Structures are given as structure tokens and as C-alpha cells.
Amino acid sequence: MASSDSLPPEQLASPTPLPAQPEGLPQHAPMRRLDRAVGATATKLVPLVTLLQAIQPQVAQESVFHTRRKKIQAHIAVAFMELKAERPRRRVLTHSFQTITNLVREEAHDISKDEVKQATKELVLATLKNAPKLIGIAHQARLLS
């Protein structure tokens, strides 16, 4: 055994040795795994956020969505709150998106033929412009197999 006089000062300052880490793993490996899991989950939710952000300006226009606009905006707000939550609940998100879909369908039945033609033209134009983005979002959300 070596006496304390022959030990270097660095070894004297450390009262207890640190636990051994497996080779190849940094000290913060569990934290990094958690960060990656959180990042992966957030990445899966990004398409839903993108979809909601794309819908919002259209809902604000009075021409097409005039009677159910407030309900649609309320469900969009609920979906955004849930997406921003630490642990988003799938049922709440599904319910919000289904309700938004139903309200938009009901609204579509109430509009005039001219409004339908105009909305169809705008939808086709927007779809053609954004087709690559929409396909990418659908793939990310696993809507297309």
C-alpha cells in the first residue's frame, strides 16, 4: 500500500471513487436517450401542427366558414393545447380532428354553388402548389402506406 505522502494531489482530493461507466457510453447516456425519445415523439406530432397551422387562416375567412367558424376555432385551439402538452392524449386529438372534419363537412353542405366552385378552385390550386409537402406530411403521419 502506498502512503498518502507518495500519492499525487488529484487522488488525495477525491474522497470516494466515481461509479464505473460502461465503455463507450458517456456519463449522460440515460438523459440523451430520453432526449432522443422526446425528440422522436415531437417529430411525429409536427405534421399535425403543420396541418392545424394550414387550416387556421382558412377558418378566419368569413366567405366560406361563417356559422361554425367559432366551433372549428375552438377545436383547433384544443388540438394545439394538446399538442403542446407534455404528454398529448391521442383520444383528445382524435376527437378534435374528427369534430373539425364533421363541422367542415356540415359547412360545405350549407354553402351556395358559386361558393363551392370558388372553394374547389382554391383547393385544387392550393393542392397543386403544396402537393409535395402534403404527401410528405401524410407519410410522416403514416396516413399513406
- Please report the pLDDT score of residue 144 as a whole number: 63
- 19-48, pLDDT tens digit by residue? 454 555 455 566 676 666 656 666 667 777
Give the dihedral sign, CA 119/124/130/136. Answer: positive
Q: What mean pLDDT is reported for the chain?
A: 69
Does pTM top 0.85 for this prediction?
Answer: no
Integer CA distances (angstroms), 137 to 24, 38, 91, 130, in order = 36, 19, 21, 10
- Please report the pLDDT score of residue 87 as a whole number: 76
* Domain residue spans of the chain: 45-140
Whether pLDDT at 12 is above 50: no
- 78-124, pLDDT tens digit by residue? 888 877 777 777 788 788 888 888 887 877 676 677 777 887 888 88
Distance CA 98, CA 75 (A): 10
- 124-135, pLDDT tens digit by residue? 888 788 888 877
- Please report the pLDDT score of residue 71 as a whole number: 78
